[in-house]
């Protein structure tokens, strides 16, 4: 019965000509990005920005997953990835119009929605300081500095209020620049490999 309901829902979505024009919801984007292989698919499509062969896609994803070169991927590893892409991930993404998968030809193409999913992956390894905590710390320090200046605590009074304002403004500006640079490096399609591989830590 559940299968019939799901089939009916899929049919309704396919018959609706406006469905593909509606923007993806945050839930739909999360559903795609929560799976590593689907993130790898988007990385590959956004990186090349052209139709790709399923075999080439499977070869590259296997290389990323097994931390090896394209030439180092074994036939078994490639087949394992190829099968799950063909049977599960690509049809699911095609149904959401995130990409176009021609199962007969084994060709995958990006759609307008492929470009829309430009959100970055907020990967915060144990060795990396979370940005929200950094901004909270800077805000707390700034508030403490203002209080100290109001109370005239030495040696903070050695510098003028304008000088301290300059220091605070410069600190927040430089932090924001670093944050923007970090976000760009974490976006899908940026660089030669997925962001999580660039920022992975040795176990």
In a 13 Å sphere around the CA of 142, the CA atoms on its Cβ side amount to 14
Asked whether residue 90 falls in the same domain as residue 18, the answer is yes
Q: Does residue 195 form part of some domain?
A: no
- Give me the domain span that covers residue 19: 2-116
The C-alpha atoms of residue 67 and residue 84 are separated, in whole angstroms, by: 19
Please say whether the beta carbons of 57 and 42 come within 8 A.
no
Asked whether residue 75 falls in the same domain as residue 14, the answer is yes
Burial of 101 (0-12, 13-18, 19+ CB in 10 A): buried
75 is written with which tokens?
């036939």
pLDDT score of 128: 52
Asked whether residue 13 falls in the same domain as residue 55, the answer is yes
Task: Express each pLDDT in 35-80 by its tens digit.
Answer: 889 989 988 888 777 899 999 999 999 999 999 999 999 999 999 9
Instruction: Write out residues in the chain with pLDDT < 50, as ranges.
Output: 1-17, 120-127, 201-203
Residue indicated by tokens 């959401």: 96
pLDDT score of 25: 77
Q: Does residue 201 form part of some domain?
A: no
pLDDT score of 131: 74
Tally of domains within the chain: 2
Asked whether residue 94 falls in the same domain as residue 138, the answer is no
The residue from 70, 88, 116 where one domain ends is 116
Asked whether residue 7 falls in the same domain as residue 104, the answer is yes
Strands (E), 52-199: 52-53, 99-102, 107-110
pLDDT score of 120: 45
Long-range contacts of 126-129 (CB under 8 A, 24+ apart): 126/201, 127/201, 128/199
């Amino acid at each position: 019965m559940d299968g019939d309901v799901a089939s009916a829902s899929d049919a309704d979505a396919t018959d609706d000509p406006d469905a593909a024009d509606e923007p993806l919801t945050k839930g739909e984007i999360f559903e795609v990005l929560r799976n590593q292989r689907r993130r790898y698919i988007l990385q590959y499509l956004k990186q090349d920005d052209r139709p790709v062969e399923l075999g080439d896609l499977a070869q590259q994803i296997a290389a990323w997953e097994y931390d090896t070169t394209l030439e180092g991927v074994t036939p078994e590893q490639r087949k394992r990835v190829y099968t799950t892409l063909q049977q599960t991930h690509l049809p699911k993404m095609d149904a959401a119009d995130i990409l176009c998968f021609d199962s007969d030809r084994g060709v995958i193409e990006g759609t307008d929605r492929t470009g829309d999913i430009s959100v970055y992956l907020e990967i915060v390894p144990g060795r990396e300081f979370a940005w929200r905590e950094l901004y909270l710390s800077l805000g707390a320090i700034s508030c403490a500095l203002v209080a100290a200046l109001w109370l005239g605590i030495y040696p903070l009074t050695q510098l003028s209020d304008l000088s301290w304002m300059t220091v605070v403004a410069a600190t927040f500006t430089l932090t924001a620049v670093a944050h923007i640079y970090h976000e760009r490096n974490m976006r899908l399609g940026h660089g030669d490999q997925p962001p999580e591989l660039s920022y992975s830590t040795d176990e």
